Amino acid sequence: MRLIDQTSDRPDFKRDLIAVVPHLRAFARGMCGKPDLADDLVQETLLKAWAAQDRFEPGTNMRAWTFIILRNAYLTEMRRNRFRGDYDQDFAERTLVAPAGQEGPVHLADLHRALLSLPAERREALLLVGAGGFSYEEAAEICGCAVGTIKSRVGRARASLTAMLEDGKLPGNRVADAGAYGSIMQELDEVSHRTRK
């Protein structure tokens, strides 16, 4: 892929693509957990989007279009046993803190850990609708499913997170936690687990 030689006579495309990068990073981080893997995914997405710019229809939703590319790249990497929604506890503890002025610490790290324990389909649905600001219709287009399916996934994700967080029943961050491990591995049936340890 000769990106260096490939020019673009569509400045709007470049501008709009650059504008969505922070959102791509946020979505990738929510799916992957680890910042470095998420940024690898984003870079791969940018390369693919750049190569496919002729297929992008000006005036349409750049964010949704690139999210589709990123999602497909994520699924591909999952099948290759590379991205498994790993929770980076050290990073989370360093960065997921409440802004100054709050009455007490907001343990977003717990929320992040709970989010990563969800099956990927429900996690992505919740991220798209609950955090990314996409409508159910847009999220369905990104995920390649019916609107009703997205609504179901969001509803189940919300119920699961609520149960985990309000009841204080969070998945552990060690493989020894059979419940959390089983939840993640159930989603990744086709992925080899032997290299985990």
Partner 1 sequence: MRGGPTQATVAKSSRPQCKDTLRIMDMSISMMRSDPHDRGSGKTLVSLAHGKPEWAAGLRQIYDGVVREPLPESVRALLARLDKG
- Contact status, residue 125 vs residue 134, Cβ threshold 8 Å: no
- Per rule CB under 8 A, is residue 33 in the interface with partner 1? no
Instruction: Among 34, 71, 84, 112, indicate the residue that binds partner 1 (CB under 8 A).
Output: 112
Nearer to partner 1, 36 or 80 (CB): 36
Window of 35-43, 69-77, 83-91, 189-197 that interacts with partner 1 by CB under 8 A:
35-43
- Per rule CB under 8 A, is residue 8 in the interface with partner 1? yes
For residue 163, what are its two tokens?
């149960």
Instruction: Among 52, 76, 148, 163, indicate the residue that binds partner 1 (CB under 8 A).
Output: 163
Instruction: Among 37, 62, 157, 191, indicate the residue that binds partner 1 (CB under 8 A).
Output: 157
Helix (H/G/I), strand (E/B), else coil: 44: helix
- Per rule CB under 8 A, is residue 180 in the interface with partner 1? yes
- Contact status, residue 120 vs residue 31, Cβ threshold 8 Å: yes
For residues 92-109, b (16+ Cβ closer than 10 Å) or e, as one string?
Answer: beeebeeeeeeeeeebeb
- Per rule CB under 8 A, is residue 59 in the interface with partner 1? no
Q: Apex CA 64: angle with CA 61 and CA 67, to 5°?
A: 145
